[in-house]
Amino acid sequence: METLYTVLIDPFVQMVEVPDFFLQVLWEGLVSGVLYSLIALGFVLIFKSSRIFNFAQGIMVVFAALSLVGLHSFLVPYVGNEFVAAAIAMPLTLGIMYALAMGVERMVLRPLVGQPDIILFMATIGITMFLIGFGEFVFGGENKVMITEALGIPTGAIEFEPFGGFLLMEEKDVFAVVMAIILVISLLVFLNKSAMGRAIRALGDDHTAALSVGISLSTIWVLVWFIAGVIALATGIVWGARAGVSFALEVIAYKALPVLMLGGLESVSGAIIGGIAIGLLEKVFEIYWGQPLFGGNTETWFAFIFALIVLLFRPQGLFGEKIIERV
């Protein structure tokens, strides 16, 4: 009886009684949800255009953030000014991500065209291992601090007092959410309005048909991997500002996987909505159910189990394309 009470009634009583804390929890969940969405978006773009389940998205986040921080600390002694150094390091990092996209396309994807999905998936894990080794080799394995101030990201906090309570929003979280929204909107505009964006979607719809109307596969793949790299950089900056830049960041890639299950592997809107939903739910579950009942740290598996349950009812995810099977 007491267990039932803690499971079914107590959490909701708390939510209503301490609404400001509930709002705080929701806000935290929203921020991490937005970041999950961003990573999932990188996955979806690559999956849509090339049917590759790109496991390397997580390490690309780390690698982009490391490059930025590494270049910045390398440049500061030469330039003398933090802000100028950041202004130079930023385009250089984008250049590195472009070079990475080119390299992946040339050396990994092109020789593997037409192989089964699982082989390509394994190849991206190979890329992950290579980037881990390369990143540690070049930048060292120790934790680094994201150059938040040099990039002009605000670091203060905003306080609200809803319902006579207390709600704290860190400005860099607000920045993260705003930046994610801008990024997503510009991406959607790019995909829907520009010729290149349409080519990407055409490739996602039908490979052969897209090729036959003259869309260049290799150009699009480089472009898609580059966009994924830009998204990775954005994610790396905002997540690095929250938790520091280290290889532990790679685990957030795993967080994006249930988002993909939930939203569907091909759906851009699914990635966004799924990410926010999972971010919110896992935070709420951890605070109100996980800690009192299971001893906490449920965030590692909650999203997976939740997505699994949803998938049992909709095997292609909430927004995925209907799976039609023929013999």
Write out the residues near another protein by the rule CB under 8 A. Answer: 53, 107-108, 111-112, 115-119, 121-123, 125-134, 136-137, 141, 254, 257-258, 260-261, 265, 294-295, 297-298, 300-301, 304-305, 307-308, 311-312, 315-317, 323, 325-327
Judged by CB, which is closer to another protein: 192, or 300? 300
Can you tell me which residue has the tokens 């935070």? 283
What DSSP character marks residue 317? -
Q: How far is the CB of 59 from another protein (least distance, A)?
A: 10
Identify each DSSP E strand in the chain by its residue range.
157-160, 167-170
Judged by CB, which is closer to another protein: 114, or 164? 114
Is 93 in contact with 240 (CB distance < 8 Å)? Answer: no
Q: How far is the CB of 270 from another protein (least distance, A)?
A: 13
Interior CA angle at 211 toward 206 and 212, to 5°?
100
Q: How far is the CB of 185 from another protein (least distance, A)?
A: 28
Q: How far is the CB of 312 from another protein (least distance, A)?
A: 5
Judged by CB, which is closer to another protein: 230, or 253? 253
Q: How far is the CB of 103 from another protein (least distance, A)?
A: 11
Judged by CB, which is closer to another protein: 254, or 289? 254
Is 85 in contact with 79 (CB distance < 8 Å)? Answer: yes
Judged by CB, which is closer to another protein: 155, or 297? 297
d(CA 303, CA 305): 6
Q: Give the residue among 69, 57, 127 at the shortest CA–CA distance from 93.
A: 69
d(CA 318, CA 309): 12
DSSP conformation letters of 128-148 = HHHHHHHHHHHH-SS-B---T
Judged by CB, which is closer to another protein: 68, or 123? 123
Q: How far is the CB of 247 from another protein (least distance, A)?
A: 11
d(CA 112, CA 105): 10
Q: How far is the CB of 7 from another protein (least distance, A)?
A: 17
Is 19 in contact with 163 (CB distance < 8 Å)? Answer: yes
Is 196 in contact with 223 (CB distance < 8 Å)? Answer: yes
Judged by CB, which is closer to another protein: 179, or 224? 224
Q: CA–CA distance from 135 to each of 87, 131, 177, 231, 314 (Å)? A: 22, 6, 28, 18, 39
